[in-house]
Amino acid sequence: MADALLGSSASLAETYSLEQIRDAANNADRTGEAALADDLRRAAERVEANRELVLFLRHAAEAGHPAAQALLGRILVLQEEAEGEKWIRRAVAQGDPWGYYFLGLMYYKGLGVPEHTAEAIRLWKQAAGQGLSRAAADIGLLYFAAIDVEEDEDEAARWYRRAIEMTSVDTNLGSTSQVVDDCGPGDAAVLGPWMEMFSTFSGVNDEAEVAELRRAAEEGDSEAQLKMALLTDAPEGSAESMVWMRLAAEQGVVPAQLLVGVAYDTGIGVAEDNTEAARWFRCAERRLRVAAESADSDAQYFLGQIYERGEAVLKNLVEAERWYRLAAEEGHVLAQFSLGNIYELGRPSEGIPENEPQAARWYRVAADNGHAYSQELLGRLYETEKDEIEVARLWRAASQGHVDAQYELGHKYDTADGVWHSDSKAARWYRRAAHQGHAGARYELGMMYRYEHGHFGQDLDEAARWFRLAAEQGHADAQYSLGLMYGVGAGVEEDDSQAARWYRLAAEQGHARAQSLLGHRYLSGAGQNVSEAVEWLRMAARQGVSDAQELVASVETWSCSESRIDRRTLLSLIRLEKVGQVSVGSVTHQAAFEVRGLDLRWDFGPNGDGTYDYAFRIRPDGMGLYYDFSRSEDGTARPSQLFQCERSG
């Protein structure tokens, strides 16, 4: 029954990873029915929606098998059937790690239960505690990507490393002290000479030499077999090439084993066969490990390659780094370059944090050993060697938690100061400093969220949150930015009073743009105060704010008394650059000033066409004439108010 189910779909390898299958097998073995559980798991991972499989799982689940209960529950939950939760909880009651994992997944995604990330993490920790690497990796992902939790790269790395440690049992393919019989005789100690022959062999032209080479190959000479594989490696001879390559592989020639594995993996020259590909990759890995542990730097380098690419073993950058380092320290130039590359790219999600000083160090060593591309990459990291030294100093301090160094390093990447510009690197170091309370880093992080920099998109709520934290610490730029957001209602509710409050706090610290905006608000806002407006505008003008300079130059303060009523009114008159035209009906009038300070409107026309409803003029004798055209029926108007004015500022 199980065998039939396993053969019912070919999509397993495309949909689920080898890691998942192995994890399922290892945990099912603990129940005591390893063979049945393994078949169930593999069948469930291949064809979840298959009705026959569901019936098979249900039979095993009802018999009390926890692995079947967890998988049946998962299928039913994905089909939005309420019964699914019941089976998953039954598996949990029996302590099944996959039961814990799937129940956590339900809480994380809100599948039939309320979304609750904290509960998901709690359940995944239970699963990880029983050796389920996938649960540990998912916890690491949440912390790394800051999904519903505070970003914590150290915590993420801790969980990723636990996941890698859990899978390491599967990646250690057999004993490293000897090579199993099905991988052929010999060892990998001659890998270097093999690779030298492989790279320098240019073929033979003489028919007699070819015949002699073929004879030696047919008699079992592994080097001749490999050379014959290279000679016949052409479209018309690829089948023969594969025959010779396989014969060499069966004699333990590591390069041949790797190439045979690639052929079966890609279906080039032979029918694609994942089982055969895995077999030959595994043979190469075992031989390489034997030689690598005997300090063969070529083997160490190739073993690092296998782990970095995930050939023969589960991809494991921690292992790749270890073998690259051993080879690099022995002077292997390609390993030195590869080690630098791993550190430069940095993949915290796979257990290797970015470490630019280490990347630079190994690129430099490789470059000194003649590796030209390493020198080019080193040039892309820094402008000068002095910059390299400075960044290395900051990295050491920042990595040890020094908040100012974290901010400075982020600022270097943000402004391309001696290094290549990198939003993502800037964001990472700003965030670390921000979490330690650095006001400048909090402001910069807010700017990144505000304007879509870094490795995240625009998020106005997050921008406002970081601006507020920095503003409350007295950061003037953050106070100004928070004022802007209140002014337009971005990330916060629009609130003019809050905008004015934050502008003033920034302005009092000498922030020129805040001073200018505050001056504008006092000229035109509800709390109009011309003298204070002019004071703030002059402060901004002294710092080079051009629009403040222009506005200060245009403002004239007049002390005027209304002619009909014995009272004095302080008017703010902004002289128009060009005498304004006031059009009402078919009549055009002239206005010399825009008036601020009257308890009357001074508006543009209702259609935004540049016309005025009112006009104000001052005659040479100081008489201020105020015209109200909005009440005019024919487009003409007499002064509706008269003022006797004297210029006072």
Q: Which CATH number does the domain housing residue 420 bear?
A: 1.25.40.10
Residue 638 main-chain phi, psi, to 5 deg: -95, 160
Residues 290 and 234 in one domain: yes
**Worst-scoring range by mean pLDDT, 179-188, 311-320, 497-506?**
179-188
Higher pLDDT, 52 or 608: 52
Task: Report CA 144 to chain centroid distance, whole Å.
Answer: 9
Give a yes or no: residue 535 inside a domain. Answer: no
Which residue segment(s) compose the domain that 469 sits in?
A: 403-509
Residues 185 and 167 in one domain: no
Higher pLDDT, 229 or 185: 229
pLDDT band at 29 (very low <50, low <70, confident <90, very high): low
Which of the listed residues 350, 381, 412 is the one where a domain comes to its end? 381
Residues 254 and 331 in one domain: yes
238 in Cβ contact with 269 (< 8 Å) = yes
3-state secondary structure of 589: strand
Give a yes or no: residue 203 inside a domain. Answer: yes
Residues 294 and 199 in one domain: yes
Residues 487 and 559 in one domain: no
Residues 195 and 276 in one domain: yes
The β-bridge relationship of strands 555-562 and 614-618 is unpaired
Number of structural domains in the chain: 4
Structure tokens at 529: 């105060």
In our burial notation (b when 16+ CB lie closer than 10 A, e otherwise), range 203-221 reads eeeeeeeeeebbebbeeeb
Positive or negative torsion for Cα 501, 507, 513, 515:
positive
Indicate the burial class of 292 (C-beta count within 10 angstroms; 0-12, 13-18, 19 or more). buried
Residues 157 and 194 in one domain: no
In 3D space, the residue among 598, 591, 559 whose CA is nearest the CA of residue 575 turns out to be 591
Find the mean pLDDT for residues 71-78. 84
552 in Cβ contact with 538 (< 8 Å) = yes
43 in Cβ contact with 5 (< 8 Å) = yes
pLDDT for residue 605: 46
Average pLDDT, the chain: 76
pLDDT for residue 447: 94
Give a yes or no: residue 340 inside a domain. Answer: yes
Residues 192 and 164 in one domain: no
Residues 484 and 564 in one domain: no
Give a yes or no: residue 446 inside a domain. Answer: yes
Residues 81 and 158 in one domain: yes
Residues 369 and 419 in one domain: no
**623: pLDDT strictly greater than 60:** yes
Give a yes or no: residue 389 inside a domain. Answer: no
How many Å apart are CA 204 and CA 99, to the nearest integer? 62
**176: pLDDT strictly greater than 50:** no
Give a yes or no: residue 396 inside a domain. Answer: no
Task: Report CA 624 to chain centroid distance, whole Å.
Answer: 64
**484: pLDDT strictly greater than 50:** yes
Residues 185 and 255 in one domain: yes
Give a yes or no: residue 467 inside a domain. Answer: yes
Which of the listed residues 119, 148, 171 is the one where a domain comes to its end? 171
Percent of the chain beyond pLDDT 90? Answer: 15
Task: Report CA 294 to chain centroid distance, whole Å.
Answer: 40
**What Rg do the C-alpha atoms of the chain give, in angstroms?**
38
Beta bridge mates, 568: 561
Give a yes or no: residue 593 inside a domain. Answer: yes
Residue-wise pLDDT tens digits, 102-138? 999 899 888 888 888 889 999 999 998 888 877 887 8
